[in-house]
């Protein structure tokens, strides 16, 4: 049936108009609430003083966030694509000087955990390999109740106030008119928003860095993002930042690898996590904290409450307080990984909030989101969300209630039920909020201490190695090169000049922008309609730390090669002794060696033994492996050196800076590669012992292989 011609809006026939969708584009109109109330400030939450907590009476924030929280059913609006695992956290020692949290109060004390990793922007069916922030959320099932440390693999965020979170996600999600692109920030709406939000520049440096392309979940850091509080038994408070440090080290992929892996295996990260645990190569992280005494809150050249800032480790070292080990895969993905519900407001005595306005908004948003995603107020009764601590309260009924409460009363105070459940005293483990003094006018505003948007963006860029800086330049060229609007590209490059003139220059060259124009003042668009824009101009602050070694991925090398994937390129007639020697050495160090051959099934070695093939050259690629070994065997090499796929496999590994081991007759295969004729053999190990290969793999990549980029794969 042909589509009926739609009647234009405001036609002479309003009854027919009523049959059609109520369209609205907002052109030339003032912003309003859903009740038609005109909005004066859509940038800032209502606070008790400029640095105070967010007020519950902020009806505009609650309406805006409630609508945003319920925009997707049933997958998570953000962090939809994820993978998770069970494990335990083991405390390193008594931390009672700073916190009364029981799970941190005794050396060797183990607490069950469930950890979920995720990408942020993509839908549930998107690729693991998107250039994106990764979620890093841990649920501790403590004896005092569930504690959720809900963070990311980057220590800062795009925005300072939760009021702007719906805007950020609307901008980064697929554009509303065609729902393109998926799980990618390389489009106009995102960069239009970012180019008008200088507070995002620090986070943009992180997202454009190699941090956005982790080699695996087990090789990325995690952060609590916000500043929280520790509170000890004396009631003394300390500001605290949380860090997860991977024992395996921090390593990344290249963008070329990430794009190819998305085609070869879009489940690359979740498959890696699953296989590592199944094979007994349990991923491990150490939990660290940066602790700042209350009296030192204002001693830094940045504001501790600003979620776009971090504390350089040169100013406050990270104290390691425990280790997390993930040692069990979920039994059922949906029942556990999909239904787990995290919330930064799930606390235990000894841990509390700061007045960070982004954190304050999250305290409302998470519960609100679960109501639609998990079907009502009883999501805490889903098995994966149940605490190991007993639950006693007066909550009854509601959709999907599972607990069968006995007794007559469901209120407090009562005499019929003996006054139970009763309020727990602090000495009995009852939670008491930190008694912070709050004074201030009700106000929608940003503290002037939040107006430094570039010093830490500059610090991050300057702290990267030359290789990492080059990758950031390439990332910005790629992302902005996908933006159709010349105005947005030019404005964004102009913003980069506030971070680094050199960075802006190199990005501009790749985009053909000349000359570079700095955006006109005021740069910051996060101000209410009646405000003087001059009050919101960014402050120029010179960071007290000019370079921070820990901000570079290459500063955190891991211990050993546990969990690495090594490709062994071989076919019929492979040298049995060489093959077994390397396989045994790799297995002993916890690496996974896979036989890649010209065909599937099995191959016969030089002794006539049968060897099972893991993948054929048709079903895999070098991008899925960390290093390549080609054992000798004249018959095997005779076959492989005539196979274009085998030659390309080695060339591609070389292009991606990986270590390659060549033994005996395999030199004939190496001689057929483009790399052997047009590049140096840097990082190629000829006829060396397996121990040398193991040691080399521990370095992850040989980044000073300058000619790798020229390999035409």
For 113-131, write each residue's pLDDT tens digit.
999 999 999 999 999 999 9
Assign domain 52-385 to its CATH architecture.
Beta Barrel (2.40)
The tens digit of pLDDT for each residue in 526-567 reads: 888 888 888 888 888 988 899 999 999 988 888 899 999 999
Q: Which of 44, 60, 79, 153 is catalytic?
A: 79
pLDDT tens figures, 94-110: 899 999 999 999 999 99
* C-alpha to C-alpha distances, 192 to 42, 45, 188, 492, 523, nearest whole angstrom: 17, 23, 6, 8, 13
Annotated catalytic residue, options 44, 146, 152, 380: 152
Give the pLDDT confidence score for residue 25 in this predicted structure.
Answer: 59
The region of weakest confidence among 390-399, 484-493, 679-688 is 390-399
Cβ atoms of residues 228 and 240 within 8 Å: yes
**Which positions ≥6 away from 330 have C-beta within 8 Å?**
84, 85, 86, 336, 337
Nearest-5° Cα angle at 607, 604 to 609 = 45
List, for residues 286-320, the tens digit of each pLDDT value: 999 999 999 999 999 999 999 999 999 999 999 99
The rounded Cα 289 to chain-centroid distance in angstroms is 19
pLDDT greater than 50 at residue 6: no
Closest C-alpha to 465, from 547, 561, 558: 547
Q: Which residues contact 428 (CB under 8 A, 6 or more apart)?
A: none
Residue 708 has pLDDT above 80, yes or no: yes
Q: Which band of pLDDT confidence, cut at 50, 70 and 90, is reported for residue 523?
A: confident
Q: How far apart (Å, rounded) are the C-alpha atoms in residues 559 and 473? A: 30
**pLDDT for position 219:** 97
- The contacts found for 151-154 with CB under 8 angstroms, 24 or more apart, are 151/222, 151/223, 151/224, 151/225, 151/242, 151/244, 152/120, 152/222, 152/223, 152/225, 153/211, 153/214, 153/220, 153/221, 153/222, 153/223, 154/203, 154/206, 154/207, 154/211, 154/223, 154/225
For the cut 90, the answer to whether the pLDDT of residue 675 exceeds it is yes
Across the range 482-491, mean pLDDT stands at 96
Domains of the chain, residue spans:
52-385, 561-710
Report whether 141 contacts 111 (CB < 8 A).
yes
Confidence check: pLDDT of 667 > 50: yes
Give pLDDT, residue 72. 60
pLDDT at position 681, please? 94
Residue 213 has pLDDT above 70, yes or no: yes
The first and second tokens of residue 460, run together, are 């991050």
In the annotation, is 79 catalytic?
Answer: yes
Mean pLDDT value across residues 170-181: 94
What pLDDT band is residue 505 in, cutting at 50, 70 and 90?
Answer: very high
What fold does the segment set 561-710 form as a domain?
Answer: Rossmann fold (3.40.50)
Q: Please determine, for residue 709, whether its predicted confidence score (pLDDT) is greater than 60.
A: yes
Of 169-173, 379-383, 636-640, minimum mean pLDDT range: 379-383
Determine how many CB atoms are found less than 10 A away from the CB of residue 396.
10
DSSP for residue 582 = H
- Residue 17 pLDDT more than 70? no
Q: Is the pLDDT of residue 24 over 70?
A: no
Catalytic residue status for 415 = no
Q: Helix/strand/coil (H, E, C) string of 453-481?
A: CCHHHHHHHHCCCHHHHHHHHHHHHHHHH
pLDDT > 90? residue 165 = yes
pLDDT number for residue 26? 65
Structure tokens at 576: 């049995």
Check pLDDT > 90 for residue 336: yes
pLDDT above 70: residue 603: yes
Among 274-278, 397-401, 558-562, the range with the most confident prediction by mean pLDDT is 274-278
Indicate if the pLDDT at residue 14 is higher than 70.
no
> pLDDT, tens digit, for every residue of 28-70?
777 676 776 777 788 888 889 999 999 888 878 887 887 788 6
Local structure of residue 337 (DSSP, 8 states)? I
Check: CB of residue 179 under 8 Å from CB of residue 170: no
């Amino acid at each position: 049936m042909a589509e009926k011609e739609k009647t234009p809006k405001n036609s002479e026939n309003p009854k027919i108009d009523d049959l059609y969708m109520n369209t609205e584009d907002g052109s030339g109109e003032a912003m309003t609430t859903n009740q038609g109330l005109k909005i004066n400030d859509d940038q800032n939450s209502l606070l008790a003083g400029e640095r105070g907590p967010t007020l519950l009476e902020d009806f505009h924030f609650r309406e805006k966030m409630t609508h945003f929280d319920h925009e997707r059913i049933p997958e998570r609006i953000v962090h939809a694509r994820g993978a998770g695992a069970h494990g335990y956290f083991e405390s390193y020692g008594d931390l009672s000087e700073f916190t009364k949290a029981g799970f941190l109060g005794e050396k060797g004390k183990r607490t069950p955990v469930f950890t979920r990793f995720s990408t942020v922007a993509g839908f549930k069916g998107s690729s693991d390999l998107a250039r994106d922030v990764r979620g890093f959320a841990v649920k501790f099932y403590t004896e005092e109740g569930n504690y959720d440390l809900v963070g990311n693999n980057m220590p800062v965020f795009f925005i300072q106030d939760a009021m702007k979170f719906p805007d950020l996600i609307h901008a980064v999600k697929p554009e509303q008119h065609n729902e393109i692109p998926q799980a990618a920030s390389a489009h106009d709406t995102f960069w239009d928003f970012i180019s008008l939000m200088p507070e995002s520049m620090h986070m943009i440096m992180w997202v454009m860095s190699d941090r956005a392309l982790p080699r695996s979940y087990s090789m990325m850091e995690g952060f609590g993002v916000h500043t929280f509080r520790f509170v000890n038994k004396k009631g003394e408070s300390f500001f605290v930042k949380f860090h997860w440090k991977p024992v395996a080290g921090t390593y990344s992929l290249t963008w070329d690898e990430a794009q190819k892996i998305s085609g070869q295996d879009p489940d690359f990260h979740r498959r890696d996590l699953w296989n590592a645990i199944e094979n007994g190569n349990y991923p491990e992280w150490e939990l660290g904290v940066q602790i700042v005494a209350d009296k030192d809150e204002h001693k830094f050249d940045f504001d501790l409450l600003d979620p776009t800032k971090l504390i350089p480790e040169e100013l406050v070292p990270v104290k390691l307080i425990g280790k997390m080990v993930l040692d069990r895969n979920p039994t059922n993905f949906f029942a556990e990984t999909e239904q787990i519900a995290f919330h930064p407001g799930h606390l235990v005595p000894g841990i509390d909030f700061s007045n960070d306005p982004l954190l304050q908004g999250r305290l409302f948003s998470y519960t609100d989101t679960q109501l639609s995603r998990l079907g009502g107020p009883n999501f805490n009764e889903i098995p994966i969300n149940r605490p190991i601590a007993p639950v006693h309260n007066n909550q009854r009924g509601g959709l999907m209630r599972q607990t069968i409460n006995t007794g007559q009363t469901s209120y407090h105070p009562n005499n019929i039920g003996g006054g139970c459940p009763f309020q727990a005293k602090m000495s009995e483990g009852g939670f008491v909020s930190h008694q912070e003094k709050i004074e201030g006018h009700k106000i929608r505003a940003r503290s002037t201490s939040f107006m430094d948007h570039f010093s830490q963006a500059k610090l991050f860029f300057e702290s990267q190695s030359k290789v990492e800086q080059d990758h950031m330049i390439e990332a910005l060229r790629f992302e902005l090169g996908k933006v159709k609007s010349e105005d947005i590209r030019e404005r964004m490059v102009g913003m980069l000049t506030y971070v680094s003139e050199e960075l802006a220059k190199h990005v501009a060259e790749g985009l053909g922008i000349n000359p570079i124009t700095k955006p006109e003042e005021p740069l910051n668009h996060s101000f209410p309609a009646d405000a003087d824009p001059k009050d919101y101009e960014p402050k120029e602050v010179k960071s007290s730390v000019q370079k921070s070694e820990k901000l570079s991925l290459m500063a955190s090398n891991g211990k050993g090669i546990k969990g690495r994937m090594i490709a062994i390129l071989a076919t019929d007639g492979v040298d049995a002794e060489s093959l077994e020697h390397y396989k045994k050495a790799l297995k002993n160090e916890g690496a996974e060696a896979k036989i890649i051959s010209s065909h599937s099934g099995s191959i016969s070695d030089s002794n006539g033994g049968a060897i099972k093939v893991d993948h054929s050259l048709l079903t895999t690629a070098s991008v899925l492996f960390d290093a390549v070994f080609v054992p000798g065997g004249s018959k095997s090499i005779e076959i492989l050196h005539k196979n274009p796929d085998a030659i390309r496999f080695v060339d591609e590994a070389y292009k991606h800076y990986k270590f390659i081991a060549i033994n005996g007759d395999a030199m004939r295969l190496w001689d057929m590669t483009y790399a052997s004729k047009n590049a140096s053999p840097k990082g190629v190990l000829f006829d060396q012992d397996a121990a040398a290969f193991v040691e080399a793999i521990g370095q992850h990549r040989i980044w000073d292989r300058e000619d790798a980029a020229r390999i035409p794969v």
